[in-house]
Structure 1
Amino acid sequence: MTNVFGKRYGEVLLVYVGENGPQATVYNTYPLNDCPAELWTKLDTQTVAAEHGAAAALLNGPRYWLMSGIEKPGGTESERRTFGGIEMLRQATVALSSMNPAPYSVNEVDRKAIFVYDAGTPVFELVDPDGRRWVMQTYSQTVDPALTLEDLPGLAARLTLPAGWTYRSRTLDAPLTVDTSNRKASVLQDDLANSYSLTS
């Protein structure tokens, strides 16, 4: 999938609890539709969970992609489900750190994908105390419905970062690739529910 930067989507996570704790199956509207607001706002998590035999359902969105393209080496064909009239594709499974993960807690995501950020693209990063870089993959309007791309360069002033963490924005002078096609992705969210991937 190319030219995804700035494209809107939404996700439904169906949560099941097993021996190893809660795990969510992630269904995504992209590229089938742009998460139409008139249907999205009517989704009821208890109803969705009951309809699909899940312990819980979580709504994740609306969100906007920040990479340039997404590669799925194994192909893009996957299971389709419809939630409240919104068609979605199964895209990943997530081992949740808890049923209600706190900001900056890491979850492992099995998505078998490669995210590509082209040279010249703006990127927004967290740097942890070990110097590892976490690149924002999507920004979210879940917490702040008015958040826009233009707000992201100044986001540091709004985040309550853990000790030793920093936030920065820059423009890439070379392509950046986050390849999690053969390993699980390490993903976290900030206070505003924006999502970041560990770059290596």
Structure 2
Amino acid sequence: MADSDVFNDDMVNDDVFDKRYGEVLLITAGEDGPEATVYCSFPLNDCPAHLWDRLDAEAIAKEYGAVAALLNGPRHWLMSSIEKVRDTAPDTRAFGGIAMARQARVKLSSMNPAPYSVNRVDRRTVFHFDAGRPIFELIDPQGQRWVMQTYSQAVDAEMNLDGLTRLASRLTLPEGWSYETRTLTERLSVDTTTREAHVTQDNFANSYSLEW
């Protein structure tokens, strides 16, 4: 689950590690199933809690003529920097007083995607995870690695970086899946500027990108 002057053409935002943000997803009925337009508070603001807690998803959906609205957050980034390719002016809106800009289009696996299902995201970004920092990964039965891009405080309000190192024992993993933590010895970049990102979530709504 997809962000004034936000990411300009070929703009790099760093350092974003552990910075807080929130998203509003406006759901529409696409030809191949539900799709979401993602609006993100970063880097306009840190998604103030007193405003976020008052957001009404039903009212937002009605205001914008959407099938539904989803509130995705608060969340914290886990990459070091984000490189964004943009060829049009950003669409910026305010939801309950929180300024957000359109960052991505998501093809949802369903209206209520289950944990460990895959959603396809058109976001045109490169996520850079720098050497010397921890990363948190899912490994699927095919041996593919999925790197955690953001952790969520929607399910567990106390989720934090320290808790991610002990997350394996708390996850409800499908058969054949595993969870690992490691410290990078060289930069890891997930480049989805020319193809759709594949994104999944665990049972705490933490989000992971397939490492192409």
Using the size of structure 1 for normalisation, the TM-score is 0.98
Once residues 24 and 90 of structure 2 are traced to their aligned partners in structure 1, the CA distance between those partners, rounded to angstroms, is 15
1:140 alignment partner, one of 142, 152, 160: 152
* Residue of structure 2 in register with 1:117 after alignment: 129
Amino acid of the residue matched to residue 167 of structure 2?
A: L
Task: Select which of 74, 92, 100 maps to 1:88.
Answer: 100
State the alpha-carbon separation in 2 of the partners of residues 96 and 191 from structure 1.
17
- Give runs of aligned pairs for residues 40-189 of structure 1, distance below 5 A: 40-74=52-86, 77-189=89-201
RMSD, aligned α-carbons: 1.0
Query: Which residue in the other structure is 2:21 paired with?
Result: 9
Task: Give the counterpart letter for 2:46 in structure 1.
Answer: D
Give the superposition deviation at 1:160. 0.5
Distance in 1 of aligned mates of 2:122 and 2:157: 28
Distance in 2 separating the partners of 1:73 and 1:176: 18
C-alpha distance in 2, partners of 1:135/1:75? 27
2:170 is matched by which residue type in structure 1?
R
What is the rounded CA distance, in whole Å, between the counterparts of 1:146 and 1:59 in structure 2?
18
TM-score by length of 2: 0.93
Q: 1:77 to 1:101 in 2, by over 3 A?
A: same
Distance in 2, Cα, partners of 1:53 & 1:183: 29
Identity, in percent, stands at 63
Q: Could you list the per-position Cα deviations for residues 147-184 of structure 1 after superposition, in whole angstroms to 9, with x for gaps in the alignment? A: 11100011000001000100000000000000000000
Displacement, 1:121?
1.1
Structure 1: state its 5+ residue gaps.
none
Q: Secondary structure at the match of 2:166?
A: helix
Report the CA distance shift for 1:132/1:185 in structure 2 as closer, same or farther (over 3 A): same
Deviation digits for residues 27-81 of structure 1 (CA, Å, limit 9, x no counterpart): 0000000000000000011100000110000000000000000001336841101
Runs of 4+ residues deviating >6 angstroms = none
Equivalent positions of 1:11-50 (< 5 A) are 11-50=23-62
Shift of 1:20: 1.4
Q: How many residues align?
A: 200
Give 3-state SS (helix, strand or coil) of 1:39's partner: helix
Structure 2: stretches of 5+ with no match in the other structure: 1-12
